[in-house]
Amino acid sequence: MRSLISLFIFLPFVLSANPELIESKCCRCHKPGKEKGGLDLQSLMPRNDHLLRSPQKWKRALAYLRSHEMPPKDSKAISLEDREKMLLWLEESLNKTYISSPYYLETPQTRRLNKYEYLNTLQNLLYLDKRPSFNLLSDNSGYGFDNIADLLSVSSLAMEKYLKCAQQVLDDAILDYVPKQYKWNFDAESMDRAPKDRGRVIQGIHHLWANASLSVKINCVHPGKYILQMEAAGDQAGEEKVKVSLDINGKNQKILEIEAESPHSQIYTIEMDLITGENEIKISFINDYYQVIKGDRNFHFHGLSISGPEKLPPLPKSHLRLVPNGESYEKTIKSFLERAYRRPATEGELLKLTKTYQELRHAGNDHLSAVKTCFLAILISPKFLFRIEKKPHVEEQVLNDYELASRLSYFLWSSMPDKGLFYLASKGELNKTEILKSEVRRMLKSYRSKQFVKNFSGQWLHVRNLDYVDVSNRKFKNWNGALQDSMRREVYEYFTYVLSNNLPINFFIRGDKLFVNEKLAGHYGIKGEFEWAMHSIPAIAGRNSVLTTASVLTVTSEASRTSPVKRGKWILEEILGFTPPPPPPGVPALEETQEHHADLTVSEQLARHREDPDCAVCHLRMDPIGLSFEHYNAIGEWRDKYDKGEAISLGGDLPDGSSLRGFQDVQDYLLENESTFQQTFIEKLMIYALGRGLEQGDFRTLYEIHEKTKGLSCRLEDIILEIVVSKTFRYKS
């Protein structure tokens, strides 16, 4: 992209000299009544203001003209000199049109949290160690992303799932009770005797005159060590003391010798382990003895107490922070509401919830139950489920600090603002540019930025599609979940490396690092000792780009074979920002033609496919690019020949004369068009950040960001910073 300064230097000459070339060379086939490809360029020519009508359509025309796909081969050729003049005119006219457009600031004021944002927000709001796992409905995607506001609708089924989810996470986060120590006391009458005829309760003492047992059951809330204290005595006779066996849940714990001589009693203390739930404590008289001369041995049970546990289980972090001990219910509810709604609470909102709490308490609910009910009402409120921004009172207005905090946190964390963002918002300082930039850098260093890496790169590079990709296990024996997971992690590591080191985004096209673990190393044929954890190693030939990662190569393939068309189309769309039109109606898909020409190589089959003029327009660029990846099979492994032993025919010639004969040529071609890739990447990042498709005025921001960052080769963190401080991100209309 030429600089904005050069634009104004050359603009008068360009605008006066070259519109006629467009009209004479292009408008013969693209005019009213003869709109080839559905494009009427004649009606879109500049008027008195020298601005292009529908610049996005002109941008598409520019892409076709630059790639030499237009005019088609069956039309009159354009000389290289005329083509260069037309390209120069179109580029500069597009620049002028975009930078003359007013900023587009109408980001939707209301947008539902998508599935990932909702679950991440629940985790952070409730201080949970792990993100909740629920089978929520999938979100619709648009412009390549699933956070597009206009597509995030809400159904009655979704609301049912939100209610169920909210109830479960609250139960996980807040206990129904505060752990405490318990004590049970049992007198002689409380104990069950077996057999019945071997004892009797007389004056509050349970007398056993033959071998028998006394038992009782208790329910423990907490497992752990408990203290049992038994008061007992015995009629001593014979050579042994009175002996009783203590059994817990059917297992013997100890044999006790009763020293006390009836009628005097003694306390016996035993430490024992009890489980959560029902526990049976059994005390058995086990050494009955009787002789006329030596006497009668009997057991006398006075009472029993059980207390514990000795150590209470710690309260979960979530419970301690959501319902602090000793805090008033008003403060507890207000704190949760403001964090959930991501802004200060109104007096009406607080009054309604505190009234609900009071009614629940009067109805007999305890404090924790009443608080959880109030929290549940908050979690199913649209004010939590939706990000809501107030409509401005004037035509253009800066976001308030709380709105900006939410835009920022859902962009970089896919979750709610943290304590630091809320603090700056409360002070009214977040909108200060230098503070805002500092917060962006802090946020990108946070562990929460992993969500940005997964959600943005996972959708831009289609890594998420690995969850749904169909791979033939019959053909690829080594395909399994471990390899699939490693593929996904490789891309996230790659993206994280570029982000954390603020590298130029061209590193995605050609870099010097490779990220592998033991699974991927074997998959790529790399020798050495590796672990399950990912490690960076120097890149090797053919594996020095995110484009040659196994995940990208797999999601752009069919189940049992490669798809040069898919791979070529993917490069055009995701790297060069050019979306080919859908195939014309009635034209058979390549898969159908392959069934009838199985004797031909993939390259020959594609060549036949291009014989149809309707197909050639798009396939002239897609096919050479896609065929340049043929050394990589359907799951990204390197191969030197096809399965049947045929030699691999790589690449082809692009309409502009570029010759592609392998992946390195594709890299060179993409780096020669680095400005196009940089603008494409910025566009995709802006769509993700704003949660909507770009309008004409947004391209002014896009071009300004490109101009500001291209001097340092468009480094990733720099692009993010410029998006965040831009008027498009910080203002609303």
**Within a domain: residue 77?**
yes
**Within a domain: residue 451?**
no
What is the per-residue pLDDT across 178-234, written as a single tens digit (0 to 9) for each?
899 999 999 999 999 999 999 999 999 999 999 999 999 999 999 999 999 999 999
**Within a domain: residue 565?**
no
Tokens of 710: 């291209």
What is the per-residue pLDDT across 250-282, written as a single tens digit (0 to 9) for each?
999 999 999 999 889 999 999 999 999 999 999
**Within a domain: residue 693?**
no
Nearest to 175 by CA among 343, 321, 275: 321
pLDDT higher than threshold 80 for residue 541: yes
Residue 79, pLDDT score: 78
Question: What's the structural domain count of the chain?
Answer: 2
**CATH number for position 202:** 2.60.120.260
Residue 2, pLDDT score: 38
Residues 387, 693: Cα–Cα separation, whole Å: 18
603 φ/ψ angles, rounded to the nearest 5 degrees: -60, -40
Residue 627, pLDDT score: 95
| Residues in contact with 259: Cβ distance below 8 Å, sequence separation at least 6, in sequence order | 241, 266
Q: Are 188 and 83 found together in one domain?
A: no
**Within a domain: residue 255?**
yes
Q: What is the mean pLDDT of residues 482-506?
A: 98
Q: Are 196 and 96 found together in one domain?
A: no
Residues 369, 356: Cα–Cα separation, whole Å: 12
Residue 588, pLDDT score: 59
Residue 1, pLDDT score: 38
Residues 309, 182: Cα–Cα separation, whole Å: 7
Is 183 exposed, middle or buried, given 0-12, 13-18 or 19+ CB atoms closer than 10 A? exposed
Which has the higher per-residue pLDDT, 537 or 651?
537
Last residue of a domain, one of 308, 337, 357: 308
Q: What percent of the chain has pLDDT over 90?
A: 73
Q: What is the mean pLDDT of residues 118-144?
A: 95
What is the per-residue pLDDT across 621-646, written as a single tens digit (0 to 9) for each?
889 999 999 999 999 999 999 988 88
**Within a domain: residue 548?**
no
Q: What percent of the chain has pLDDT over 70?
A: 92
Residues 471, 635: Cα–Cα separation, whole Å: 8
Backbone dihedral region for residue 652 (phi beyond 0: left; psi -120 to 50: alpha; all else: beta): left
Q: What is the mean pLDDT of residues 666-683?
A: 96
Q: What is the pTM of this model?
A: 0.85
pLDDT higher than threshold 50 for residue 298: yes
Last residue of a domain, one of 84, 100, 116: 100
Residue 589, pLDDT score: 58
- Quickly state the pLDDT bin for 593 (edges 50, 70, 90): low
DSSP secondary structure letter of residue 400: P
Residues 107, 693: Cα–Cα separation, whole Å: 10
Nearest to 122 by CA among 173, 176, 177: 173
Q: What would you measure as the largest C-alpha separation in the chain, in angstroms?
A: 136
Last residue of a domain, one of 66, 100, 134: 100
Domain hosting 304: range is 182-308
**Within a domain: residue 39?**
yes
Whether residue 309 is preceded by a cis peptide bond, meaning omega within 30 degrees of 0, is yes
Distance between alpha carbon 203 and the CA centroid of its chain, in Å? 70
Residue 15, pLDDT score: 39
Q: What is the DSSP string of 225-291?
A: EEEEEEEEEEE--SSS-EEEEEEETTEEEEEEEE-PBTTS-EEEEEEEEE-SEEEEEEEEE---EEE
Q: How many CA atoms within 13 Å lie on the side-chain side of 189?
A: 3
Q: What is the mean pLDDT of residues 168-172?
A: 96
Q: What is the mean pLDDT of residues 361-387?
A: 97
pLDDT higher than threshold 80 for residue 597: no
Residue 71, pLDDT score: 77
Q: Are 96 and 189 found together in one domain?
A: no
**Within a domain: residue 242?**
yes
